[in-house]
Chain A
Amino acid sequence: MAHEQHNYLNHQKGIWSWLTTLDHKRIGIMYFIAIMSFFFLGGVFALLVRAELFTPGKTLFSADVYNRMMTYHGAIMVFMVIVPGIPAIFGNFVLPIMIGAKDVAFPRLNLMSWYMLMIGAAITGSTLFLENVDTGWTFYTPYSSIKTGMGVIPMVLGVFIIGFSSILTGLNFIVTTHKLRAPGMTMNRIPLMVWALYSTAILQVLATPVLAITLLLLIAEKTLGVGIFDPQLGGDPVLFQHFFWFYSHPAVYIMILPAMGVISELVATYSRKIIFGYTAIAYSSLAIAGVSFLVWGHHMFVSGQSEFAGVLFSFITMLVGVPTAIKLFNWIATMYKGSIRLDAPMLFAIGFMFLFTIGGLTGVYLASTGMDVHFHDTYFVVAHFHYVMVGGTLMALMGALIYWFPKVTGKIYSDLLGRISWVFIFSGFNVTFFPQFILGNMGMPRRYYDYLPTFTELNQMSTFGSWLIGTGFLVGLFGVFHALMKGKEAGNNPFGGKTLEWTIPSPPPHENFDKTPVLTGGPYEYR
């Protein structure tokens, strides 16, 4: 750089200044590094799981090892990658800037959340070397409580601590959004990304404590034999499922709402049009958050709950489709007659809409009690939640990475590499998971080590697809290093974004704004 400019990256130097930083932007980067490492690990487990399923019977390792790898894959991906992912990385980086604040409300707490995630991850990860943990990411009782080994305890304890991290981040974002908006930045002028993060934060704060107590009860059950989940002692194992899904269904929206926020930003910027239905998109986030608390029972249609409960849960579940569709139609209306630029982030946004729609529609199948009896615990469910979680959240994460990369680093991410990565991920994704819908419909159960020979071709297709996805993400990672080494200087606003972060230098100065901005209009004022 010709003239060294002062920014948050060179504000202080040395590794120690990073590990003790209170700057939300640096903390965002630390989350990025940590979560991407978890993602890599979870990805390796995924590839191994798929590799084992290349042929029926034993392909590479024993059923025991398979169960453990499946468990780690699920637990890492859910609790350490997709749940914290977008809010912790991009939320931390952009939320304060987008509302014109110098930092989040509680910078120390923010740093503490990061350390909690690290400690939780270390405890959970340590079980890799301890005892068998083979419960799957849902830790269903009675298997987890009275059958399998004690390794479940540190595993669950780690997740408990990670949950704490999630609560603290959510709490921080809520107060930040309430209290630190710049003058003129009314709630009806905050960018849609902020609305999404705000709704997510509410879910994090309200749902996660229930997971916390559920996990504590599981630990109590294992250590003291309390009897709450053990039928022999008068307990009810299904109660665990009620508690677990009371958190984990809202948690699926903790995973997807921030992604929807990202998509709103991308669609507005790359269509060069004022976003259609700002209010509808904003409030549908809150609606989704609200309804998500009332639908957990759809995970238990076949658990012996009453028929009435089944019908009720089925009905309410379908209601979630309404606010979701509102968002989708508004994005499409925004794109309509816009000057769309198919840059890599926009490709990821379109990929999101495509895959998420398939995932959402198959959710309606599963929400129909009659069909769920057929599909429950089959590969159909596996395909469904991968279409929404991976097809949805990870697509958005890649889009967000390329979109905000210049702001974060001052360098442009190669659009060509982004597109190559997209082609691999998008096509690989469909090759991997579409066959799983068919497999599920044919009756292949989920979480099994072995399968009937008739299922071989479709499984091989699926495994082949997983290599394509892997390649796609490796290209994406290569793009990061490439941009850091060789990327062009970005300038303040390379993509013509209209939200506040594009008005400040890239990388931003230490305190974000030299002068507190004063807002006179809404975001996305294109035309």
Chain B
Amino acid sequence: MSTANHTGGFHHAHHFDSAEHQYESSKQGIWLFLVTEILMFGGLFVGYSIYHSLYPQVFHAGSKQLSVVLGAVNTVVLLFSSFTMALGINYVQRGLKNKAIIALAVTIACAAIFMVVKFFEYTHKFHVGTVPGKYAYTEELNASGEKVTKVGALLAEANKLSVAEREHKLHLDETEYEHLTLLERTKNWPLFFGFYFVMSGIHGLHVLAGAFLIFWVLLKVIKNQVGPEYYTPVEGVGLFWHVVDLIWIYLFPLLYLVG
């Protein structure tokens, strides 16, 4: 509200007794919001577990197609970013402005790395045709009158070539070729990629939102709008970032490893 009180060098809104009071309230609000985030992802996890138990083969074949290496890299990146975020908060609280700026900037850089890795993962999946639901199919029909998948079309082409040519012309190494063959033999496999893209996509949007928010508090640090007396926004954004990290820690084994 327009009228603000002035105590201890920092403004608190008129309807709170003190800066402390305002801080406690904001923190509670942020925690409640995080609960809603977790519940929202909870819905996705429930759906995932149901279908996983219904179609274990689909999830087995599907997860083989994901790159554990890239997933693991991203996990490490996010864990590290959680650490730098925590450092950032700590530096802001202690008034170490320059260190805080560096820590927050590194966190944003980690978010960027995460998204770049995701970009490569996604484009590779578009390339080989491991995409969700209706986009996984071509217009053609096979001998038994079912729609041919894009993976099926790619494999048909690969089968005409020698191993070396596959590597060269189609950028398919032998393991991937085998994984795709396994996939193609599994009925309804695009369902897995539906889950993969929806879950990692919604998570990716959260990473973007998080990076944006961290940038916002970074500006506040630069402009001296936060410091040892007042750091609620930094802490709130930090908590959000930890939750985004936490959700990935569940997504990674569920999508990449459990299969």
Q: Which residues of A contact B (CB under 8 A)?
A: 22-23, 101-103, 105-107, 109, 167, 171-172, 174-175, 178-180, 205-206, 208-210, 212-214, 216-217, 220-221, 224-228, 230, 233-236, 239, 243, 511
Contacts and interface: CB of A to CB of B under 8 A. Distances in A.
Nearest to B197: A224
B40 A171 contact: no
15 contacts: A105-B15, A174-B32, A175-B29, A179-B28, A206-B36, A209-B43, A210-B40, A210-B43, A213-B41, A224-B198, A226-B197, A227-B190, A234-B188, A239-B47, A243-B47
A206 B28 contact: no
Q: Which applies to chain B's interface (DSSP): helix, strand, loop or mixed?
A: helix
A233 B135 CA distance: 12
Contacts of B33: 171
Contacts of A216: 198, 202
Contacts, number: 126
B194 A175 contact: no
B231 interface: no
Contacts of B132: 220, 224-227
A239 B40 CA distance: 16
B44 interface: yes
A347 B36 CA distance: 39
Interface in B12-32: 13-16, 21, 24-26, 28-29, 32
Interface of B: 1-2, 13-16, 21, 24-26, 28-29, 32-33, 35-37, 39-44, 47, 50-51, 54-55, 58, 132-135, 187-188, 190-191, 194-195, 197-198, 202
Given A105-B25, A175-B25, A239-B50, A226 B191 contact: yes
B242 to A, nearest CB: 18
B194 A210 contact: no
Contact of B37 (A209, A234, A243): A209
A511 B202 contact: no
A209 B188 contact: no
B13 A220 contact: no
A258 to B, nearest CB: 19
A420 to B, nearest CB: 40
Q: Which 6 A-B pairs give the minimum distances between C-beta atoms?
A: A225-B133, A225-B134, A226-B194, A213-B43, A234-B188, A102-B15
Contact of B28 (A102, A178, A209): A178
A236 B134 CA distance: 16
A205 B55 CA distance: 33
B144 to A, nearest CB: 16
B32 A209 contact: no
A511 B44 CA distance: 43
Contact of A212 (B2, B16, B21, B40): B40
Given A102-B15, A103-B1, A228-B47, A209 B40 contact: yes
